[in-house]
Amino acid sequence: MGAVVLRRPRLSRPAACVSAAGLSLTLGLAACSGTGKKAAPPTTDKKVDAKVAMVKTATLRIGSVDPESAGPDIRVQAVTASQVLSAAQKYLDAAIHAPLKTGRVGADYAALFDPALRATATRSDAAALTDAVVGKVGSFTESAQPVALSVLADTNGHFIYAATKFNLTENIPTGAGRLNVGHSIELTFEPAGNHWQIAAYRVVTSRVVKGHTTTTTAKSGGSTAP
């Protein structure tokens, strides 16, 4: 199937607000500068762009699709792929982007997970699953590999699980030096009502600053039998 791209604004809302405020301030200063003297040099678009580029978040794209079925052969429709990709993007926004921008995971972070996983996802596994340990930073750039999408259908051909696997890298300037973060993220989703919920995960996160590496891993295992 063809590539599926979820289009979303490159700027997150806080970044857009900062840009708008900056632009307003610039315009205001320019309006008050009519003294007859040589006008102050206007803030250039280039400078605004440079500030915006300091926060660059990744938008996930589908790379490959691997359909498996316990019943009839299946095809993964673009709408299904988009829904799963959207769920993975929500995780990215809440677990990775929100902490870097605000210092805290997104308000909807816990709700992304199956209730049985929420305790570990928000506590013991949070260091691997989120960037909360990094905290709020002034700027960062991020890039993501295309997502490998796997889907499992039951004996009737209905989708029961979908998994996204992708690597994510972040480059974050900090007072202690440049922090490079690498995430290997595999999320397994299952349908929950009208959305997809994280039913399992395997995540490896490494953080390198000045040659010192810290690696954390998290893997959800079943704790209860069916």
Partner 1 sequence: MKRVFIALTAVVATALLAIGGLFAAWLSGMHVPIASGATYLRVEKLNPVAGADRVMGAPGAPFFILLVGNDSRPGVGGARGDALHILGVNPAKHQATMLDIPRDTCWNGDKINVGNTQSPRAQAQDVGGLVGVPVSYVIDVDFAGFTSLVDGVGGVDVNVTQNMHDSYSGAYFTPGVHHMSGDRALAFSRDRHDFPQSDIIRTGNQGSLLLDSMRQLDRQMQSASGEFKLLALLGRHAQLDGIGIKDLYHLGRIAFSINPNSIKNITIPVTNGQCLGLGGGAGALFADFRDDGVVESAG
Q: Which residues bind partner 1 (CB under 8 A)?
A: 66, 68-71, 148, 150-152, 154-155, 160-161, 163, 165, 186, 188, 190, 200, 202, 219-226
The distance of closest approach from Cβ of residue 67 to partner 1 in the complex, given in angstroms and rounded to an integer, is 9
Measured from the CB atom, is 141 or 190 closer to partner 1?
Answer: 190
The distance of closest approach from Cβ of residue 221 to partner 1 in the complex, given in angstroms and rounded to an integer, is 3
Rounded to whole angstroms, the Cα distance separating 223 from 31 reads 64
**Dihedral sign, Cα of residue 144, residue 105, residue 184, residue 152:** negative
**Contact call for residues 104 and 120 (beta carbons, < 8 A):** no
Nearest in space to 57 (alpha carbons), one of 137, 113, 153, 1? 137
Distance of CA 209 to the CA centre of its chain: 21
Amino acid at site 108: D
The distance of closest approach from Cβ of residue 140 to partner 1 in the complex, given in angstroms and rounded to an integer, is 28
The distance of closest approach from Cβ of residue 153 to partner 1 in the complex, given in angstroms and rounded to an integer, is 8
Measured from the CB atom, is 130 or 164 closer to partner 1?
Answer: 164
Measured from the CB atom, is 45 or 66 closer to partner 1?
Answer: 66
The distance of closest approach from Cβ of residue 161 to partner 1 in the complex, given in angstroms and rounded to an integer, is 7
Measured from the CB atom, is 88 or 172 closer to partner 1?
Answer: 88
Measured from the CB atom, is 66 or 108 closer to partner 1?
Answer: 66
Task: State whether residue 5 is helix, strand or coil.
Answer: strand
Rounded to whole angstroms, the Cα distance separating 179 from 172 reads 5
Report CA Rg, the chain.
Answer: 21
Measured from the CB atom, is 41 or 72 closer to partner 1?
Answer: 72
Task: State whether residue 80 is helix, strand or coil.
Answer: helix
Pairing of strands 147-153, 159-174: antiparallel
Rounded to whole angstroms, the Cα distance separating 100 from 91 reads 14
The distance of closest approach from Cβ of residue 83 to partner 1 in the complex, given in angstroms and rounded to an integer, is 17
